[in-house]
Amino acid sequence: MDMIAGKIKLTSKTVDQSMNPLDVLERETRLSARDVTVHYGDKQALFGISIDIPDRAVTSFIGPSGCGKSTFLRCINRMNDTIEGARVGGSIKLDGDDVYDPNLDVVELRARVGMVFQKPNPFPKSIYENVAYGPKIHGLARSRTDLDEIVVSSLRKAGLFEEVKDRLNEPGTSLSGGQQQRLCIARAIAVGPQVILMDEPCSALDPIATAIIEELIDELRENYTIVIVTHSMQQAARVSQKTAFFHLGKLIEEGVTEDIFTNPEHKQTQDYIMGRIG
């Protein structure tokens, strides 16, 4: 019930078209993490991460490879549960609900927190079935027409509908890499999430496909809380309003994107941005 109420509130809000970068400070906090630690077996991957993630804005995690940014991202929708030997400590709250509360249903959490992966991973099914997959599982459509509507509107929101409207029955794997990634975004949107996590969504794509996805992310932030992990500092600067810099499993610095890139507080952040580490 709570979840549906949240969704209605979310979509009924008027959307501001041009967001002042500094407005991000005044946004409500959708996700808040406190002292999050992760161990893989004996190895500690994250050391006490605390961060607030604002609603309806793009937050980017940057940092060199192996710094823990993807690990932290996967804590938010508990995808680390699927990795054997992973242990998570601390707390992550989504709208006040503890994500790691034993009473919380992981299935419901993942319906609220969608995820887009590094490599486009459409299912070996038709384009239509790919998008309809989530709504079918969660019983979001009462009839075939309902389902059609969800599929079409999700594809529209992902900016893919015009390109695929005549071939919805062709396999999702027949699309180009950039189209596949937008199909995966449409698939995530179809479930009606509040938060979308993106794990280096453009790392397997060419510059043109990347530009299209970035534009899409910019549009999506009007309705969704977006967290994106990226290797590209230009991408973080282009699409995000808030940026967090990770290094060796620690959160070094976080803040308004403009500040981080123009006036970093820590030397490590500065070195990374200048290309001296990573």
Partner 1 sequence: MNALVIAALLLVLLTFSYQVGWSRSRKLAGNKSQHLHSRPIYHGVLAALFAVLPAMVIIGIWALFSEQVTNSFIVAQLPPETAQLSQMQLQAAIARVKAIASGYGVVGEPSATEVVAAQVFASYQQISFLAVLAAAAAIGAGGLFWAQRRIGPRLRARTEVEIFVRIALMACSAVAIVTTLGIVLSLLSDALRFFSFINPLDFFFGTTWNPRFQSAGTGSAGEYGLLPLLWGTVMISIIAMLVAVPIGLMSAIYLSQYADERVRNVVKPIIEVLAGIPTIVYGFFALVTVGPFFAAAGDAVGIDINATSALTAGVVMGIMIIPFISSLSDDIIAQVPRAMRDGSLGLGATQSETIRNVLLPAALPGIVGAVLLAVSRAIGETMIVVLAAGNSPVLRFNPAEPTSTVTVSIVNQLTGDADFTSPQSLVAFALGLTLFAMTLLLNVMALYIVRKFREQYE
Contact set with partner 1 (CB under 8 A): 77, 79, 82, 84, 106-111, 114-115, 117, 119, 121-125, 133-134, 137-138, 184, 187-188, 191
Output 91 or 121, the one with its CB closest to partner 1: 121
Output 7 or 125, the one with its CB closest to partner 1: 125
> Closest separation between CB of residue 51 and partner 1, Å?
21
| The residue to which tokens 């549960």 are assigned | 81
> Closest separation between CB of residue 184 and partner 1, Å?
7
For 2-8, the CB contacts below 8 A with 24+ separation are 2/95, 2/97, 3/108, 3/111, 3/112, 6/95, 6/194, 7/192, 7/194
> Closest separation between CB of residue 227 and partner 1, Å?
13
> Closest separation between CB of residue 119 and partner 1, Å?
6
Residue 183 · residue 18 · CB < 8 Å:
no
Residue 88 · residue 269 · CB < 8 Å:
no
Output 184 or 244, the one with its CB closest to partner 1: 184
Beta bridge partner(s), residue 33: 51, 92
Output 22 or 137, the one with its CB closest to partner 1: 137
Residue 131 · residue 151 · CB < 8 Å:
yes
> Closest separation between CB of residue 186 and partner 1, Å?
11
> Closest separation between CB of residue 137 and partner 1, Å?
5
For 73-76, the CB contacts below 8 A with 24+ separation are 73/197, 73/199, 73/227, 73/229, 74/197, 74/199, 75/33, 75/36, 75/38, 75/46, 75/99, 76/31, 76/33, 76/113, 76/195, 76/197, 76/227
CA distance 15 to 232: 28
Total residues found in the chain within this entry? 278
> Closest separation between CB of residue 76 and partner 1, Å?
11
Output 36 or 191, the one with its CB closest to partner 1: 191
Query: 262 in helix, strand or coil?
Result: helix
Query: 186 in helix, strand or coil?
Result: helix
Output 199 or 253, the one with its CB closest to partner 1: 199
Output 181 or 268, the one with its CB closest to partner 1: 181
Sign of torsion over alpha carbons 256, 261, 266, 268? positive
Residue 183 · residue 120 · CB < 8 Å:
yes
